[in-house]
Structure 1
Amino acid sequence: MAAVPLHYVDLRAFCYATEDEKRVEDALRTYLPEEAEVERIENEGHHGDRILVFSARVENADGIRHVLDQLRGSADLDRVRDQLDDRVTENCELFLYLDKQAAFGGEARLGEGITLRAKVEAYPAKKESAVENVREIL
């Protein structure tokens, strides 16, 4: 694949007070290239509990290819392809929700815990064009 029809990929995971922050960051890093920087923001929940937000943005083509390679290992890929009309927005963004526990074990699977948002290149910038571009890369 010479060109990658994505402008960037954002990944985000929340770490609640009952979770080990190192494990949550490791789960997020399952999808990231080695050199990617993970930003860590500390927040407070409604009841005063600590919530950490780990996030990373991948913008270069090699890094995006790495993220896509991790996703291609998922057994859920056929399900994602079938749901592309629901997963791509009118703003040409792809959303996937990934299993945080599975990611900690090195496995890519749909679930909860990690949010992936990718800005899809589409000319013209229409949802239909974006869906086709995503279908080609998956």
Structure 2
Amino acid sequence: MSAVPFHYVDLRTFCYATEDEKRVEAALRTFLPEETELKRDVTEGHNGDRIVIFSIRLERADDVRHVLSKLTGLGELDRLLEELEARIDDNCAFYIGLDKQAAYHGDVALGEGLMLRGKVEAYPAKRERAIATANEALEDLAAQADGA
């Protein structure tokens, strides 16, 4: 994948009071280039419990490529392709929920706990164009996964 189909990629996860902060951070780092600095915000939940929000926006093409390359380990790329229209909004943003527990173990799976949001490059910036661009990118990833 030489051209990067996203302007940027955001990754975010929450660490609840019942979770180990280092493990949650490690899960998110499964998708990140080494030495990436995470933003860490502490907030309070509905019942007064402490919640740590880890987030990062990657804008450099190499960093975005790194995140996308991790998706080649996703055994459900076909499912993403099938659900593509539902995963892209009118602002050309593409959403994937990833399994936090699997990520902690170094695996990549669709699920809950980690959110990936990518702003799809689409000229003109129309949802239909974004779907076509994301479709091409996912097909490239699927081809890489098949070749791996």
Does the alignment pair 1:87 with 2:90? no
The structural deviation recorded for 1:44 is 0.5
Aligned counterparts, 1:1-138, within 5 A: 1-138=1-138
What are the superposed Cα offsets for residues 55-101 of structure 1, whole Å, 9 maximum, x if unpaired?
01111111111100101210111100100000001100000000000
Bigger share in helix: 2
The whole-number CA distance in structure 1 between the counterparts of 2:36 and 2:81 is: 27
Counterpart residue number, 2:146: none
Q: Which secondary structure state, in structure 1, belongs to the residue aligned with residue 43 of structure 2? A: strand
Letter in 1 for 2:102: A
The structural deviation recorded for 1:127 is 0.7
The whole-number CA distance in structure 1 between the counterparts of 2:111 and 2:129 is: 26
The whole-number CA distance in structure 1 between the counterparts of 2:35 and 2:123 is: 30
The answer (yes or no) to whether the contact 1:13–1:28 under 8 Å persists in 2 is yes
Letter in 2 for 1:78: D
The whole-number CA distance in structure 1 between the counterparts of 2:2 and 2:116 is: 22
TM (norm. structure 2) is: 0.91
Aligned residue-pair number: 138
Give % identity. 60
The whole-number CA distance in structure 2 between the counterparts of 1:123 and 1:45 is: 40
TM (norm. structure 1) is: 0.98
The structural deviation recorded for 1:135 is 1.0
Q: Which secondary structure state, in structure 1, belongs to the residue aligned with residue 123 of structure 2? A: coil
Q: Which secondary structure state, in structure 2, belongs to the residue aligned with residue 123 of structure 1? A: coil
The answer (yes or no) to whether the contact 1:36–1:58 under 8 Å persists in 2 is no
Q: Which runs of 4+ in 1 moved over 6 A?
A: none
TM-align CA RMSD: 0.7
